[in-house]
């Protein structure tokens, strides 16, 4: 087979890139190692920045999001029984959209299917060859058969555990990592959200987040130990612990119910540099991971897609390599800012095992500074709604 861009990974990055390229008549093939149902079964991000919302519009897949998504103009932050609001709209004139990653992915699959996009599922043993030449190739196995794609470019959109990053030689690649000493236990429940805006809660017992998907679907997270397993937590134990971590006025009105999904995610900050090697470009989680505090993972994947899509357009439409030559530098400049914000917000909101009394006082002082200082609130709001592309 032959195509212009071989895309490894059928998660949000790979699908969005494929659909955007399609709008400009640039061909691609998406290779996904799981089934579509498996990808759609993963419950992940829930908050979209304006940049991603605009990319969805540009890709022609924004109709359902505009109907069913919820614009949020602010968020609440609590510590103990204290709370304050960060006014995104007031500080930045912008809002974010609450619309699940599952729905983004579903809309993209539908659009790719409707326009006859080639997607191969259940692929195995994907190997990228000749990425440092002008004629890269991707080989893979599917249904016991080996296939080969000759292409102009390879987009590595295959997440943190994919093959694309590993294809870049070790003497070219530099990795930066911080692993956090806790995880997030998340549940989805068919109950009304606790509040019309999200609540990020710092408490003596650890972090909690009250989020949502729609009027009758709520998403809650609590900081947990890395040794915990989802099955260690009954629904009743989860709700009890969540109530202890949020201000009492919210705990009293929390509507609980059976969980329909329960999972634990470890927290990690990770960046690989550069994000390009020859004709191979890394996008999204394949190149970087942020801790989820602040909802930057999916949104940073989207900004990579924006830079790569425009670089590839420049190549095919204007015969210029400027966009692809500056891809890594431009993407990384924004990635590091998202890394900083996610690291800062995580540090502000969690209990760390080695935290001293002094460290705890610093957290409270920082929260009180944020609560009372409009410049600090504006900085937080600008980062949360998303820095410009």
Active site members: 72, 200, 292, 296, 384
Q: Which of 3, 13, 189, 346 binds ligand FAD (CB under 6 A)?
A: 13
* Shortest distance (Å) from residue 31 CB to ligand FAD: 5
The nearer residue to ligand FAD, 17 or 381, going by C-beta atoms, is 17
Query: Residue 136's binding partner, choosing from ligand FAD, ligand DHB, none, with beta-carbon cut-off 5 to 8 A by kind?
Result: none
Q: Measure the CA–CA gap between 277 and 292, rounded to whole angstroms.
A: 28
First to last CA, the chain: 34
- Residue 157 sits in the site that holds ligand FAD (CB under 6 A): yes
Site for ligand FAD in 315-354 (CB under 6 A): none
Measuring CA to CA, how many Å separate 344 from each of 50, 261, 380?
Answer: 21, 28, 10
- Stretch of residues binding ligand DHB (CB under 6 A), selected from 41-49, 108-116, 274-282, 359-367: 41-49
What is the C-alpha separation between 161 and 164, in angstroms, rounded? 9
Is 59 a residue that touches ligand DHB (CB under 6 A)?
Answer: no
The answer to whether 295 contacts ligand DHB (rule: CB under 6 A) is yes
Give the one residue of 7, 131, 271, 295 binding ligand FAD; rule: CB under 6 A.
295
Q: Which is nearer to ligand DHB, 106 or 173 (CB)?
A: 106
Report the residue number, 15 or 198, with the smaller CB distance to ligand DHB: 198
Q: State which residue has the least CB distance to ligand DHB.
A: 46
Strand pairing category for 217-224 and 208-214: antiparallel
Query: By CB under 6 A, is residue 189 in contact with ligand DHB?
Result: no
Integer angstrom CA distances of residue 48 from 15, 138, 145, 168: 16, 32, 39, 30
What string marks each residue from 79 to 118 as x (binds ligand FAD by CB under 6 A) or -? ----------------------x-----------------
46 vs 183, which CB is nearer to ligand DHB?
A: 46
Note the Cα 124 to chain centre separation in Å. Answer: 24
Out of 183, 294, 323, 386, the only residue in the binding site for ligand DHB (CB under 6 A) is 294
Spatial separation of the C-alpha atoms in residues 88 and 82, rounded to whole Å:
20
Nearer to ligand FAD, 228 or 362 (CB): 228
Find the binding residues for ligand DHB in span 216-235 (CB under 6 A). 219
- Please identify which residue in 8, 55, 96, 267 interacts with ligand FAD, judged by CB under 6 A: 8
Q: Does 74 bind ligand DHB (CB under 6 A)?
A: no
112 binds ligand DHB (CB under 6 A): no
The answer to whether 334 touches 27, Cβ cutoff 8 Å, is no
Residue 319: CB minimum distance to ligand FAD, A:
29
Q: Does 74 bind ligand FAD (CB under 6 A)?
A: no
Instruction: In angstroms, give the least distance from the CB of 71 to ligand DHB.
Output: 14
- Residue of 386, 168, 388, 171 whose CA lies nearest to 282: 168
Stretch that binds ligand FAD, among 38-46, 229-237, 319-327, 368-376 (CB under 6 A): 38-46
The binding site for ligand DHB (CB under 6 A) comprises 45-47, 198, 209, 211, 219, 292-295
């Amino acid at each position: 087979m032959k195509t212009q861009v071989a895309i490894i990974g059928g998660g949000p990055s790979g699908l969005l890139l494929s659909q955007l390229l399609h709008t400009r008549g640039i061909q691609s093939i998406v290779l996904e190692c799981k089934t579509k149902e498996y990808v759609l079964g993963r419950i992940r991000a829930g908050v979209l920045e304006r940049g991603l919302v605009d990319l969805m519009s540009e890709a022609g897949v924004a109709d359902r999001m505009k109907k069913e998504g919820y614009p949020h103009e602010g968020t609440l932050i609590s510590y103990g029984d204290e709370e304050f609001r960060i006014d995104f709209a007031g500080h930045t004139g912008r809002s974010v959209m609450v619309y699940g990653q599952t729905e983004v992915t579903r809309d993209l699959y539908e659009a790719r299917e409707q326009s006859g996009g080639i997607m191969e599922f259940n692929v195995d043993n994907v190997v990228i060859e000749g990425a440092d030449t002008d004629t890269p190739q991707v080989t893979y196995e599917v249904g016991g058969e080996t296939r080969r794609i000759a292409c102009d470019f390879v987009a590595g959109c295959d997440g943190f555990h994919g093959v694309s990053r590993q294809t870049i030689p070790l003497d070219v690649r530099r990795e930066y990592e911080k692993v956090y000493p806790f995880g997030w236990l998340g549940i989805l429940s068919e109950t009304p959200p606790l509040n019309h805006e999200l609540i990020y809660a710092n408490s003596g017992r650890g972090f909690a987040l009250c989020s949502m998907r729609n009027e009758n679907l709520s998403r809650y997270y609590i900081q947990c130990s890395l040794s915990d397993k989802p099955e260690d937590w009954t629904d009743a134990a989860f709700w009890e612990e969540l109530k202890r971590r949020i201000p009492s006025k919210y705990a009293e009105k929390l509507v609980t119910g059976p969980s329909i999904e329960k999972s634990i995610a470890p927290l990690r900050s990770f960046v690989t540099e550069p994000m390009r090697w020859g004709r191979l470009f890394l996008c999204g989680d394949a190149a970087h991971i942020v801790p989820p505090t602040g909802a930057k993972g999916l949104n940073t994947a989207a900004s990579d897609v924006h830079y790569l899509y425009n670089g590839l357009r420049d190549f095919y439409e204007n015969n210029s390599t400027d966009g692809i030559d500056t891809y890594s530098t431009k993407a990384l400049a924004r990635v590091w800012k998202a890394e900083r914000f996610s690291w800062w917000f995580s540090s502000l909101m969690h209990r760390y095992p080695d935290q001293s009394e002094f460290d705890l006082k610093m957290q409270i002082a920082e929260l009180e500074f944020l609560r009372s200082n409009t410049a600090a609130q504006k900085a937080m709001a600008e980062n949360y709604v998303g820095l410009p592309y």
